[in-house]
Structure 1
Amino acid sequence: MPGQLVLVDDEPGLREAVQAYLEDSGFEVQTASNARDGWDLVQKVLPDLVITDVMMPQVNGYEFLKQLREDPRFQTLPVVFLTARGMTNDRIQGYEAGCDAYLPKPFDPDELVAIVTRLLQQRAAIKAAASDGENSDVADLSRQIAEIRAILTQRGAIATSPPPIKLDFTPREQSVLELVVDGLMNKEIARRLETSVRNVEKYVSRLFSKTGTNSRTELVRFALEHGLTK
């Protein structure tokens, strides 16, 4: 199963070897040599899965994972720990911190590929299940948007140009925002913009991040209140 991975490890030899093996197995892999660079990379790439070493200088794997889990965009992102520490207590600490798999070094690269494949399959199944229920959500979302518009109009709260705030949206993010406000779900937005659903998910996640919202209805209300759509 192809997927976009981020690999974080401070050992150059192991990092390069694992990257090469994963890429030979069909995955796209971007790497970082420490958790701080890994955090920047994850925010830029919005990967399907993260593989990270635990014992790293400055910011260790547990702290890196905590940072990921505190961000709404990455609360369900699969994370695999790679570490030379294989004691039971260490594994328990890893699972309690929220990692999805724990692989002690040295490890068989085929086992890593199997773990990554399984986690990506689980993630895809969850997304598919959510997508199956998407159509039933469209009517409810449209109703909520209509109610928001009506309430804000009654209050005179829908902003007129120029917008009262200025956010740095890319042209594509602005297009996605317009369609979200129109009540479209990700599949329909992807068709309208001739892109993939995964790309739309990335744009919606970025819109949540830039506006400080956590749901489509919150995003719609925020956009209407602040005049961010046409």
Structure 2
Amino acid sequence: MAARVLLVDDEPGIREAVQAYLQDDGFTVEVASDAQEGWDKLQQMRPDLVITDLMMPRVDGYQFLRQMREDDRFKALPVVFLTARGMTSDRIQGYQAGCDAYLSKPFDPDELVTIIQNLLKRRAAVVNELQGGETTDISTMARQIEEIRNLLVQRPSMVQSSSAVKIDLTPREQSVLNLVAKGLMNKEIARELDTSVRNVEKYVSRLFSKTGTNSRTELVRYALEHGLVTD
């Protein structure tokens, strides 16, 4: 899946040029003309990375970044500042505000692409480490966690409207399934069950096989619909 980028800039020429260049490099790009529109689209599309101009009317890039960092959903979201202000003091202020990269206009589009790729790789590596070495990409992982949370909200009606099925699960497979259904990833499950991440991966693979599913979201949906989650 292509990484999703939100570009916020009040200059139409910059928006069009950067959007076209990034799309040519395989990114999915949404644009906004100011921070308010950017905030609305941020919540709608849940991008993997944000690029924002600093000098914008009403709400500038610093205020926009502060708004993101105050929201738990976007605390770790990579943010790149684009600005015509390239003094060392300006860059320092940008990094102190919490941006991940600072690029002065005019800039080389190839440099921007490289910065984006590096930030996304770093974020994916951190998530991969936190999740115990799981290989799902960051956008897929985030989407699956959100979908699982939504499924948990729907759990009562899903169970009532579906018939139970009989699938033979070992006690350990049942424990792993219950924890997956709570939104835990492999490293967290390994900690809960006092076992290795490799063992958890084997149990999750067996659950996929027994239920005919291919992802954690599908597994949790199937388990909830058929009354397989026991706690």
What is the TM-score of this pair, normalised by structure 2?
0.62
Deviations 1:46-70 (A, max 9, x none): 1110000000000000000000000
Following superposition, the deviation at residue 8 of structure 1 comes to 0.3
Please provide the CA RMSD for this pair.
Answer: 3.0
Cα separation, 2, equivalents of 1:194 and 1:84: 50
CA shift in 2, pair 1:55/1:193, >3 Å: farther
Match of 2:151 among 175, 182, 198: 175
- Pairing 1:185–2:184 present: yes
Query: What residue in structure 1 maps to residue 25 of structure 2?
Result: 25
Cα separation, 2, equivalents of 1:193 and 1:123: 31
- Pairing 1:57–2:33 present: no
Cα separation, 1, equivalents of 2:51 and 2:89: 20
Which structure 2 segments of 5+ residues have no match?
A: 135-145, 156-177, 187-203, 219-230
Following superposition, the deviation at residue 176 of structure 1 comes to 4.0
Cα separation, 2, equivalents of 1:172 and 1:129: 21
Query: What residue in structure 1 maps to residue 14 of structure 2?
Result: 14
The 8 Å contact of residues 149 and 183 in structure 2, kept in 1 or not, is answered as no
Following superposition, the deviation at residue 14 of structure 1 comes to 0.8
CA shift in 2, pair 1:51/1:181, >3 Å: same
CA shift in 2, pair 1:186/1:110, >3 Å: same
Cα separation, 2, equivalents of 1:171 and 1:18: 31
Following superposition, the deviation at residue 2 of structure 1 comes to 3.6
Cα separation, 2, equivalents of 1:57 and 1:194: 49
CA shift in 2, pair 1:60/1:171, >3 Å: closer
Cα separation, 1, equivalents of 2:76 and 2:152: 23
Query: What residue in structure 1 maps to residue 191 of structure 2?
Result: none
Give the 3-state SS of the residue equivalent to 1:132 in structure 2: coil
Query: What residue in structure 1 maps to residue 3 of structure 2?
Result: 3
CA shift in 2, pair 1:181/1:130, >3 Å: closer
**Partner amino acid, structure 2, of 1:28:** T
CA shift in 2, pair 1:193/1:93, >3 Å: farther
**Partner amino acid, structure 1, of 2:25:** S
Give the 3-state SS of the residue equivalent to 2:131 in structure 1: helix
The 8 Å contact of residues 7 and 30 in structure 2, kept in 1 or not, is answered as yes
Following superposition, the deviation at residue 180 of structure 1 comes to 7.2
Cα separation, 2, equivalents of 1:91 and 1:113: 19
Cα separation, 1, equivalents of 2:215 and 2:85: 40
CA shift in 2, pair 1:127/1:39, >3 Å: same
Cα separation, 1, equivalents of 2:94 and 2:41: 22
**Partner amino acid, structure 2, of 1:25:** D
The 8 Å contact of residues 148 and 183 in structure 2, kept in 1 or not, is answered as no
CA shift in 2, pair 1:97/1:171, >3 Å: closer
Cα separation, 2, equivalents of 1:115 and 1:2: 16
